[in-house]
Amino acid sequence: MKKQIILALICFLAAVAVNFIEKKAYPLILREEVRIVPHRTVSELICLDHRGFLADMYFIQVSLHSGSLMWKPLKFQFDSPWAYGMMDVITDLDPKFYTAYLFTGMGLIHNFDDVKLAKPILEKGMEAFPDSWELPFWIGYDYYIYLEDNKTASDYLWRAAQKPEAPKHFMALMLSALKKNGEYEKAMWAMKIMYDNAPDEKTKTVYGKKMIQLRDMAVLQKAAETFNQRNDRYPGRLEELVSAGLIKEFPVDPYGQGYEWNPDKKLVVVKREKSGEN
């Protein structure tokens, strides 16, 4: 028994010594990997008709590059042109690689400018999967969250909402983008869905007032656009719409805050949102 213990101890010490010598002789050094976006034609030639397999290998390479940044030193940065160039090749090799499209818009965003690089790849996915709500949703989400581009965000979130399997849980996000972009009639549609699916009467009452507010803003915005067409200028004050005969009377905001014209945004806004969001 003692011989076995001594032998085990000797083996352990030998393993420690070998490991120590190995690290001294071959220390761990982090180096930038070689990153080249292969031409699509070259990829098609080397894959030997196994396009899906090569697409998977490329995808793993991009995923490792992206994920390894979590533990690598800060000097190692995300290579956006390479990563999105690879994703373009990947989705060319396998146009039905749905996970690759989703990863492009969800997990591969490291910088604000990545949103613009992701957009054409996600749009390619929208052509391959015309009934997908997730692909236009992620374009809208990225443009709303990262770039604060309400126009683009509201456009793609609206497209997502029209898909047959679209869930209702992102209606609030779409409503916010639509409202900030002045698309009050579309925002009313989203608010109506939220109203119909309200969990209780108290919430339903709040949503009901917001629907009235959006309806008023839609009427005022349309009248302001008509005013601009007739006079080649927007109204300085919304009350001008009444004197111009474009609306019969000025609407009363259900929250008692009132409406006003924002000349910078060229939008009708709620008064409390004068210096903030509309």
Nearest one of 195, 186, 243, 174 to 217, comparing CA atoms: 186
- What residues contact 17, with CB distance under 8 A and at least 6 apart? none
State pLDDT tens for residues 32-65. 666 777 877 777 777 777 788 889 988 998 888 8
* Tokens, residue 51: 């396009």
Residue 24's pLDDT is: 59
Percent of the chain predicted with pLDDT > 90: 59
Rg (CA), the chain: 29
Q: Is the pLDDT of residue 12 over 70?
A: no
Q: Across the strands, what pairs with 267?
A: 262
Q: Is the pLDDT of residue 264 over 50?
A: yes
- Computed over every residue of the chain, the mean pLDDT equals 85
State pLDDT tens for residues 207-258. 999 999 999 999 999 999 999 999 999 999 999 999 999 999 999 999 888 9
Location of structure tokens 């005969």 = 245
Q: Is the pLDDT of residue 276 over 50?
A: no
User: Residue 21 — φ and ψ, nearest 5°?
Assistant: -65, -40
Ordered structural domains, the chain, with CATH: 37-149 (1.25.40), 168-278 (no CATH)
Residue 275's pLDDT is: 42
Residue 126's pLDDT is: 97
Helix H, strand E, coil C: the string for 155-175 is HHHHHHHCCCCCCCCCHHHHH
Residue 41 has a CB neighbour count (10 Å cut-off) of 8
Name which residue leads in pLDDT, 159 or 68: 159
Percent of the chain predicted with pLDDT > 70: 82
Q: Predicted confidence band at 274 (pLDDT cuts at 50, 70, 90)? A: very low
Q: Is the pLDDT of residue 204 over 70?
A: yes
pTM: 0.76
